[in-house]
Amino acid sequence: MIIKTVAATLLAMATSSIFLLFSPTPKSFYHSLFISSSLSDNASISNHLYTLTRRPHVAGQEANAEAAAYVLSIFTSSSIKTHIAPYPVALTYPVSRSLTLTPSPQEPQSQINFNLQQEIYSGDPYADVAHEVLPTFHAFAKSGTVTAPVVYVNYGSLEDYEVLKQMGVNVSGSIVLARYGKIYRGSIVQTAYEAGAVGVLVYTDRKDYGGGGGEGKWFPDGKWLPPSGVQVGTVYNGLGDPTTPGWASSEEGERLSDDEVEKAGDVPLIPSLPVSAADGETILRAIGGQVANDDWQGSEDAPTYKVGPGPGIVHLSYTGKQVIGTIENVIGVIEGTEEPDRFVILGNHRDAWTFGAVDPNSGTAALLEIAQRLGKLQKRGWKPRRTIVLCNWDAEEYGLIGSTEWVEENRQMLASRAIAYLNVDSAVYGPGFWASATPQLDELLKQATQQIDRLGSGESDFAAFVQHVGIPAADMAFGKGYPVYHSMYDDFIWMQKFGDPMFQRHVAVASLWGLVALWLADAEFLPFNYLSYALELQRYMKDLEDELPDKNINLAPLFKSIEELKKAAMKINSHREEIEQHKGWQFIGKNDHFKVRELNDRLMMAERAFTDQDGLLGRSWYKHLIYGPSKHDDYGSKSFPGIDEAIEKAKSLKTAESRKLVQHEVWRVARAVRHASQIINGELT
């Protein structure tokens, strides 16, 4: 008996030695190699950005197709199977614009005609292609001509209109002048329309974008927006092609008419134009009436802001054209060896309003850096456990069109197979690193940041993944905003001088972004922690209690469901530890593989449970009940968006029916959280 035991022990030792001798290189070796200085290349990433930003490249234009070809070539040369996913979608371009101001109706000869031009500076290396920059406009703006007195509305939020109402100022029939900075420009136009305005002008205030009007120097001598600089952008309040809401656009597919699109409520019904700081101040000087509050004023050397209406009268005319143009998503796939049917997706958009050095091509350059590093890892023998998908989106600037069409076309496949979506829009705005994520990824991001030695301390393409399908997602970047946003001065020179002179931040984002993707693709157990999710929801509950319009609204169902989620998260964490301990040094059996796969599936599918097929009230495309955009600001994100919207309505209406709606939304969220717990537990009731 003793002899048999010794023999068995020796056999086990010998087998273990042979296993170790011939075992493959551990994934952790490749992960460390990925973030090492031997694979990263500041010069290469700088060259990518320079190449991508040589010309303005708006969606649907030739220059953007050339940029797509460049991305395709880098993916392909990195041994990544790549293809173009084209979509015919609705895009708009400016045809004509005019803006005049009559400061005083008694003196019509004093009329001012604005040239609406962003000025080329002396020595501008992009002067030869400046004519390719589209005239300043708002995408999907309503064509029309209006003449009316001007009212200054600060940032154009609901709260700002409430202040005007308290001041006795009526904006009905006027053209409003709002400044960029607090809310999404499409929300500015929509709120103005709801208040009765007939037109909208949105300008960049020097206080926010021009260095405060004091010592700050503007580009090219400083980072600030020149007085003639204009922030362009879309004023569409939906996501995806407005003519194919909820389904992917195709050549022969169903498409709404222009009238049907307008009735859907996501495109503006009054004309608008973006204008410069210089033009905005000129108009402000022609506005009389009451002096605006201190927090509505501009920089110290700016004129005193008054609210109007008038006496200045503005004549605004805009004509745009809508076309069905072809956009091109570039999709690269590195197939997994053990779980090819599980996808880890990385995405960034390529189209820009002008040169797009910050937005979005700092992110595109980082994505290309990741592609090249993954290509080098493959040459050294690395193969991912799960499939990695690299996505370069088109027409994001028009309303997340490229990513949304792709998600709508692949909805069922993504719902059943996607592990996570990792987004970078603009990789580098400036100093200071930040990241946001659905909470089960929080710990993973924290661990990754500790591995990258160069790290410091909006709506984007993740929207369709999280809010429509329910896929865990993260978004990351250096900095949070920059003065030359969406202007013709967002070029390679600005990035080289002010954003990231050594391109170290670009390299750092690529390292972190890629490392998180590698961990998700290669880890045997998905590194999701739903305990973080439950704790985050408990924090949201404290805020929710403070917002309730009626203390008789019962939050107990939601409290209880979150506690159930917490218990389920702790249980699955313990289950994972049990499987790991059971395996120990033993060979992995078929049953162990099944247990790991089954546990991972529960972790992957739990986020889907936070979605509801009916979506948010009046916004059915948004299915996620935990996270969603604010109804009055697409830049703003809300926890429990359905409850939040119901509370806002109840505070306004003060009726029993509106309070009942709040309770209904509480029940909806409670059910969704409970469903997530059931999936994590993996048991039928």
Give 389-402 pLDDT, tens digit per residue: 999 999 999 999 99
Q: Are residues 41 and 115 in the same domain?
A: no
pLDDT one-digit tens code per residue, 132-155:
999 999 999 999 999 999 999 999
Q: Quick one: 99 and 244 in the same domain?
A: yes
Percent share of the chain, pLDDT over 90:
84
Please check whether residues 439 and 583 belong to one and the same domain: no
| DSSP per-residue letters across 444-470 | HHHHHHTT-TT------THHIIIIII-
Q: How many domains does the chain have?
A: 3
Looking at the structure, tell me whether residues 554 and 408 fall in a common domain: no
Sign of the torsion angle spanned by Cα atoms 662, 663, 668, 670: positive
Tokens at residue 535, please?
């704790």
Q: What is the CATH number of the domain that holds 586?
A: 1.20.930.40
- Domain containing residue 288: 92-321
Question: pLDDT tens across 10-55, in order?
Answer: 444 444 444 444 457 999 999 999 999 999 889 999 999 999 999 9
Q: How far apart are CA 188 and CA 149, in angstroms?
A: 18
Q: What's the CA gap between 99 and 161, in Å, rounded?
A: 24
* Widest pairwise Cα distance in the chain: 115
- Residue at token pair 């033993």: 586
Residue 21 confidence (pLDDT): 45
pLDDT of residue 491: 98
Is omega for the bond preceding 220 within 30 degrees of 0, making it cis? Answer: yes
Query: Do residues 492 and 595 both lie within one domain?
Result: no
Residue 373 lies inside a defined structural domain of this protein: yes
Average pLDDT, integer, range 645-668: 92
Residue 9 falls inside a structural domain: no
Question: Would you state the pLDDT for residue 468?
Answer: 93
Pairwise CA distance, residues 428 & 364, whole Å: 11
- DSSP conformation letters of 150-202: EEE-TT--HHHHHHHHHHT---TTSEEEEESSSS-HHHHHHHHHHTT-SEEEE
Q: In the prediction, which pLDDT does 548 show?
A: 87
Q: Which residues pair with 175 in a beta bridge?
A: 150, 199
- 244 located within any domain: yes
What's the rounded Cα separation, in Å, for the pair 572 and 528?
Answer: 10
Last residue of a domain, one of 263, 298, 321: 321
- Say yes or no: 233 and 101 in one domain: yes
Of these ranges, 468-482, 542-556, 632-646, the one predicted with the greatest mean pLDDT is 468-482
Task: Assess whether 405 carries a catalytic annotation.
Answer: no
Residue 586's pLDDT band, with cuts at 50, 70 and 90, is low
> What 8-state DSSP symbol labels residue 24?
P
Q: Which pair of structure tokens corresponds to residue 592? A: 């162990």
**CATH (domain of 332):** 3.40.630.10
Per the domain annotation, does 496 fall within a domain?
yes
Length of the chain: 685
The domain spanning residue 273 has which CATH number? 3.50.30.30
Over 80: is that where the pLDDT of 672 sits? yes
Percent of the chain with pLDDT over 70: 93
User: Which comes out higher in pLDDT, residue 348 or 212?
Assistant: 348
d(CA 483, CA 202): 15
Do 61 and 114 belong together in one domain?
Answer: no
Instruction: Over range 300-325, report the average pLDDT.
Output: 96
Q: Which residues neighbour 193 within 8 Å (Cβ) at sequence distance 6 or greater? A: 268, 269, 270
332 and 314, same domain (yes or no):
no
Q: For residue 633, name the pLDDT band (cuts at 50, 70, 90).
A: low
Work out the average pLDDT over 609-637: 87
Q: How many CB atoms lie within 10 A of CB 12?
A: 12
Would residue 478 count as lying in a domain?
yes
Pair type for strands 386-393 and 339-349: parallel
pLDDT at 508 over 60: yes
Last residue of a domain, one of 467, 494, 522: 522
pLDDT at 460: 78
Q: Is 41 left (phi over 0), alpha (psi -120 to 50) or beta?
A: beta
Mean pLDDT, residues 175-195 = 97
- The confidence score (pLDDT) of residue 453 equals 53
Q: Please check the confidence at residue 597 and state whether its pLDDT lies above 50.
A: yes
Decide which of 490, 522, 554 is a domain's last residue. 522
| Degrees, nearest 5: CA angle 663-666-668 | 115
623 and 662 share one domain: yes
Alpha-carbon distance of 226 to 277, in angstroms, equals 8
In a domain, 12, yes or no: no
Choosing from 369, 396, 408, 607, which is the catalytic residue?
Answer: 396
For residue 457, what pLDDT band results from cuts at 50, 70 and 90? very low
CB count, 10 Å around CB of 97? 18
- Is 513 a member of any domain? yes
Average pLDDT (518-546) is 95
Do 417 and 464 reside in the same domain of the chain? Answer: yes
Same domain, 211 and 66: no
Q: Is the pLDDT of residue 567 over 70?
A: yes
Q: What does the mean pLDDT of the chain come to?
A: 92
Looking at residue 455, its pLDDT comes to 47
Does residue 19 lie in a domain region?
no
Q: Are residues 628 and 577 in the same domain?
A: yes
- Report the pLDDT value the prediction gives residue 638, as an integer from 0 to 100: 80
